[in-house]
Amino acid sequence: MKKLCAFTIAIFSLKFCLILCSLTEPNCFWRIKSSEDNDGDLRSDCGFVLFTHEGPIPEDFYNDIINFRIPARKYEFFLVLLFATDEINKNPYLLPNMSLIFNIIFGLCEDTLGVLDKAYLHQNSNSELFNYYCGINQLCDVDLTGPSWTTSLKLSIYSRTPKIFFGSFNPNLSDHDQFPYIYQIAAKDTYLFHGMVSLMFHFGWTWIGLVISDDDQGIQFLSDLREEMQRHAICLAFVNMIPETMQIYKTRVKIYDQQLMTSSAKVVIIYGEVNSTLELSFRRWAYLGAQRIWITTSQWDVITHKKDFSLDFSHGTVTFAHHHNDIAVFRNFMQTINTSMYPVDISQSMLQWNHFNCSISKNKKKMDCFTFKNPLEWLIQHTFDMVLSEEGYNLYNAVYAVAHTYHKLIFQQVESQKMEEPKGLFTDCQQVTSLLKTIEFTNPVGELVDTKHKENQCATYDIFITWNFPQGLGLKVKIGSYFPCLPQSQQLHISEDWEWVTGETLIPPSVCSMTCTAGFRKIHQKETADCCFDCVQCQENEIANDTADMEQCVKCPDDSYANLEQSQCLQRVVTFLAYEDPLGMALGCMALSFSAITILVLVTFVKYKDTPIVKANNRILSYILLISLVFCFLCSLLYIGHPNQATCILQQTTFAIFFTVAISTVLAKTITVVTAFKLTTPERRIKKIMIKGAINLLIPICTLIQLVLCAVWLVISPPFIDRDIQSEHGKVIIICNKGSVIAFHFVLGYLGSLALGSFTVAFLARNLPDRFNEAKFLTFSMLVFYSVWITFLPVYHSTRGKDMVIVEVFSILASSAGLLGCIFFQKCYVLLVRPDLNVLRK
């Protein structure tokens, strides 16, 4: 057991090392979040004021500004501001001889509880609390607010200074008639729902849950998403519209929980603002143990379960973020930050954070930089994104937008030579606002920034997935991109090597009903979504392949058949009762053998034609009977071999005619026996002669009647070549269809009536006194004949394919052999073995 545990630990350690080595791949980046981070600090709002200062920045300017508790999730914003202002101030072509500096709008950049900044307010007595300042601001500096749009909305009530919102784009703020002083720097999410649906379609997720804010933005997103999902046959399992009012939310929270926890949907889309009731639900579901794949925007890039170790797709949060170029110099700035100018001091709860190769000294508040040689130690020490978040990048662009605006304003001041106001101070908010809304520039990483937000922007999205590590550490990996302006087949790109994290490519399904396997079709359940269905097996000789759920099975062509899985049609093998078949060969040999025996009997009768036994049994009728039996045996050969139209017609006609001749001959022989004993007196000799003449006409008359029946059969519905695809799986049996079944039974019925007449007459004459009376043999032969064909009918109708042919051939041979044996065996025995019995008694 100890060895097993040691082996497991070794494997896990090796895998973890492989993950660490893979972190340097260009298609992914990493970030670590502190395990001590307060959940309340997810995305509280921040507000900053940007203004110019003539000359360099005083060295101790930021001492008071940053010397208060900075929530963990807001630390990025301060780093971006420090970096962006430093970069602008070093640029001789932008705000020359001026410095761009920022201040904090207190009451905004605080934790969700909203109490910490008030506690630290005494440290910054020289700063204004903008939220509660009721006087008229003499200056018109630009404010930066975000990432929640409600903050900008709130500030617009108290202040008419221009504001740039650096959070995700919100259509509510784009109404400049209602909000004339608020501008957004983020790109529009015009194609966000397209990208999300493309991702679902790529992974085969057709059963999706949706959680949105109950506001105009959420309802519009629902409408757009639903339309796009219908185009790709993706269904919504449930829609949770979370109300913004806490009181209403509390009354419905259990309903929302039950909807999500009981749903079979494994993929859930989250869309709406953080720091809201929507965020409360998101965190509540995480603590309730809801293991889902969350698909959302970049602002929801969070780790919810700190203690939960998970490194698989079903625990990840997939985020869509606007693509932006990496700011490479940002890393260098953080590693070489001038801590004398930017004294980034953090409160006691953040002492365990070590940022970017720097540690906090216990003896002084400034940060001393050092470098780790051990990569694992370096990884542990880092607790912040090496690549900016979307809000951080938006803030970076917002700082540059303000800098370009101030640059133009100062240039206008110099040009107009109106220097009543100090250089870099602006009091005309209308002028600042009108210039800000037209600003357009290319930022240092080469991307165009435009506050006008043209509708046809082809904003590319990067797709990330965030996994949870122990103690709430987060690994963020880029798994693909979405390019909305490329052809549809090229829009979504998912990296083929993203599975290096988990070591497997298995994607958990999110479907209402599992895909119907091969041989099954789907039928939709009543009063359910189109994605919910049952699978039923296809009928015989129908297929349903396994490439997609099929609503209708496809019937195979007649020359094909469905395989056992009913997934594809296979070519049928053509077969028939051939001479090469063992049974066909046996029946053919039997027919030839019986024909040869019959011919030998005929030769024997011709040889001994003058003997009493031959003469007493009417040798002419015996000859006719033997010849007809030869043809009866030979006609069975027409049933063996590949059928054609000629053989199909000859099969039934020759069988009917030759058997009619044979049975009518037996009837004639029977009548002859009776008349031989009944008409023995001289006065009856004339009648005997007349009856003998009638007997000679009996055979042609009976045969003529059968010929008429066959002619009618051939005219009405003649036999034809048919293909039997039902009898044997995977085979096409070539057989002769009898055409009119009624005509076939009429022919058999006529033969049966002749046989019944012969049997009746022979049975009545069986005890007549005569040495060579063959009435008994005729009676027994008709009994055998009748037994064969009475048995034939039910057996024939219970068989199919080649078996029907075999049954008919066997019946022909058996009945013919019965006539031959019962009538002629005793006579041949007397002629060949006991000639002493072949004499007349005196």
Q: How far is CA 78 from CA 47, 392, 461, 663, in A?
A: 11, 9, 25, 116
In this structure, the number of other CB atoms found within 10 A of the CB of residue 520 comes to: 21
Q: Please tell me the total count of domains within the chain.
A: 4
Phi and psi for 184 in degrees, rounded to 5? Answer: -110, 145
Per-residue confidence at 475, pLDDT binned at 50, 70, 90?
low
Question: Model confidence at 315, in pLDDT bands (50, 70, 90)?
Answer: low
Same domain, 632 and 749: yes
3-state secondary structure 37-58: CCHHHCCCCEEEEEEEEECCCC
Q: What is the pLDDT of residue 591?
A: 92
Q: Are residues 599 and 622 in the same domain?
A: yes
pLDDT at residue 241, rounded to an integer: 94
In this prediction, residues 78-86 reach a mean pLDDT of 87
Mean pLDDT of 401-425: 79
Return the structure tokens found at 275.
Answer: 């720091």
State mean pLDDT over 27-56: 57
Three-state SS for 531-595 is CCEEEEECCCCEECCCCCCCCCCEECCCCEEECCCCCCEEECEEECCCCCCHHHHHHHHHHHHHH
Residue 69 DSSP label: P
Q: How far apart are the first and last CA of the chain?
A: 114
CB contact at 8 A, 424 and 97: no
Q: How far is the C-alpha of 281 from the C-alpha of 274, rounded, in Å? A: 11
In degrees rounded to 5, what are phi and psi of residue 542?
Answer: -120, 150
Same domain, 314 and 403: no
H helix runs in 121-244, sequence order: 149-158, 192-203, 216-231
Nearest to 166 by CA among 459, 410, 447, 449: 449
Report pLDDT for 224.
92
> pLDDT digit string (tens) for 138-186?
678 888 888 877 666 666 656 678 888 888 888 777 777 778 888 888 8
Q: How many CA atoms lie within 13 A of 391 on its CB side?
A: 29
Boundary of a domain, candidates 552, 571, 590: 571
Question: Which of 130-134, 384-388, 427-431, 661-665 tops mean pLDDT?
Answer: 661-665
For residues 820 and 785, the answer to whether their CB atoms sit within 8 Å is: no
680 and 810 part of one domain: yes
Taking each helix axis as running N to C, give the angle between helix 619-635 and helix 802-832, from 0 to 180 degrees, rounded to the nearest 10. Answer: 150
Answer yes or no: is pLDDT of 670 > 90: no
In a shared domain, residues 318 and 329: no
pLDDT beyond 90 at 526: no
pLDDT score recorded for residue 221: 92
Helix (H, G, I), strand (E, B) or coil at 366: coil
Q: Rounded to an integer, what distance in angstroms lies between the CA atom of residue 437 and that of residue 457?
A: 17
Give the per-residue pLDDT at 342.
Answer: 67
> Are 749 and 810 part of one and the same domain?
yes
Both 309 and 441 in a single domain? no
Please indicate, yes or no, if residue 356 is contained in any of the structural domains. no
- 633 pLDDT tier (thresholds 50, 70, 90): very high
pLDDT for the residue numbered 771: 52
Residue, of 237 and 773, whose pLDDT is higher: 237
204 with 181, same domain? Answer: no
Identify whether 401 is part of a domain. yes
Instruction: Report the C-alpha gap between 102 and 256 in whole angstroms.
Output: 43
Q: CA Rg, the chain, in Å?
A: 51
Q: How confident is the model at residue 839 (pLDDT cuts 50, 70, 90)?
A: low
Predicted confidence band at 116 (pLDDT cuts at 50, 70, 90)? very low
Q: Give domain status of residue 360, yes or no.
A: no
Residue 126: which pLDDT band, with cuts at 50, 70 and 90? very low
**Is 13 inside any structural domain?**
no
Q: What is the largest CA-CA distance in the chain?
A: 171
Dihedrals φ, ψ of 672, to 5°? -65, -40
User: For residue 580, what are the contacts with CB-CB under 8 A and spacing of at least 6?
Assistant: none
Torsion angles phi and psi, residue 575, rounded to 5: -145, 160
The residues pairing with 48 across neighbouring beta strands, listed in sequence order, are 104, 144
3-class SS of residue 308: coil
Of the CA atoms within 13 Å of residue 528, those in its CB half-sphere come to 13
The strand pairing partners of 235, in sequence order, are 207
The structure tokens 């003896």 sit at 363
Tokens encoding 840: 């007349």
At residue 420 the predicted structure's pLDDT band, cuts being 50, 70 and 90, is: low
Residue 493 pLDDT > 50: yes
CB-CB contact of 234 with 208 (8 Å): yes
778: amino acid identity, one letter = L
Distance between CA 72 and CA 6 in Å, rounded?
Answer: 37
pLDDT at 765: 67
Let me know whether 637 and 536 are in one domain: no
Averaged pLDDT, 70-80: 71
pLDDT-above-70 percentage for the chain = 72
- Poorest-confidence range of 177-191, 364-378, 415-429? 364-378
H-assigned helices in 682-740: 685-716
pLDDT of res. 117: 40
Domain match, 702 and 832 both: yes
Summarize the confidence of residues 324-329 as an average pLDDT.
83
The residue behind tokens 């039974």 is: 745
d(CA 224, CA 221): 5
pLDDT of residue 366 exceeding 60: no
712 lies in the same domain as 833: yes
**How do residues 538-548 score in pLDDT, each as one tens digit?**
888 888 876 66
Residue 18: inside a domain, yes or no?
A: no
Average of pLDDT values for 302-317?
53
CA distance 615 to 621: 10
113 or 83: whose pLDDT is higher?
83
Residue 269 pLDDT level (bands cut at 50, 70, 90): very high
Q: How confident is the model at residue 384 (pLDDT cuts 50, 70, 90)?
A: very low
Give yes or no for a contact between 422 and 460, defined as CB atoms under 8 angstroms apart. Answer: no
β-pairing, 731-737 vs 573-575, is parallel
- The CATH number of residue 688's host domain is 1.20.1070.10
CB-facing half-sphere around the CA of 623: CA atoms within 13 A: 10
Three-class SS of residue 143? strand
The band of 501, judged by pLDDT with boundaries at 50, 70 and 90, is very low
> Which CATH number goes with the domain that contains 267?
3.40.50.2300
What is the predicted pLDDT for the residue at 400? 94
For residues 694 and 652, the model is more confident at 652
Angle at 808 between CA 807 and CA 811, to 5 degrees: 85
Same domain? For 803 and 682 the reply is yes
Answer whether residue 350 is part of any domain.
no
Specify the pLDDT at position 482.
Answer: 93
What is the distance between the alpha carbons of residues 588 and 578, in angstroms, rounded to a whole number?
10
Q: What is the DSSP string of 115-134?
A: -HHHHTGGGGTTS--GGG--
Amino acid identity of residue 748, one-letter, is: L
Task: Give yes or no for residue 199 having a pLDDT over 90.
Answer: yes
* Residue 182 lies inside a defined structural domain of this protein: yes
Name, of 4-8, 223-227, 363-367, 498-502, the range with top average pLDDT.
223-227
How far is CA 818 from its chain centroid?
66
Average pLDDT in the chain? 75
Residue type (1 letter), 386: M
CB-neighbour burial class of residue 763 (10 A; exposed 0-12, middle 13-18, buried 19+): middle
Q: Does 6 map to a domain?
A: no
Phi-psi region of 495 (alpha: psi -120 to 50; beta: other; left: phi over 0): beta
- If we measure between CA atoms, which residue out of 553, 406, 471, 452 comes closest to residue 188? 452
Q: What length is written for the chain?
A: 842
Does an H or E element contain 734, and which?
A: strand 731-737
Domain that holds residue 469: 192-323+460-500
Give me the residues paired with residue 714 across strands. Answer: none
CB-based contact 788:750 (threshold 8 Å): no
pLDDT for residue 130 is more than 60: no
What proportion of the chain, given as a percentage, has pLDDT over 90?
15
For residue 106, name the pLDDT band (cuts at 50, 70, 90): low
Contacts of 831 (CB under 8 A, 6+ apart): 604, 605, 608, 611, 613, 614, 838
**Whether residue 792 has pLDDT greater than 60:** yes
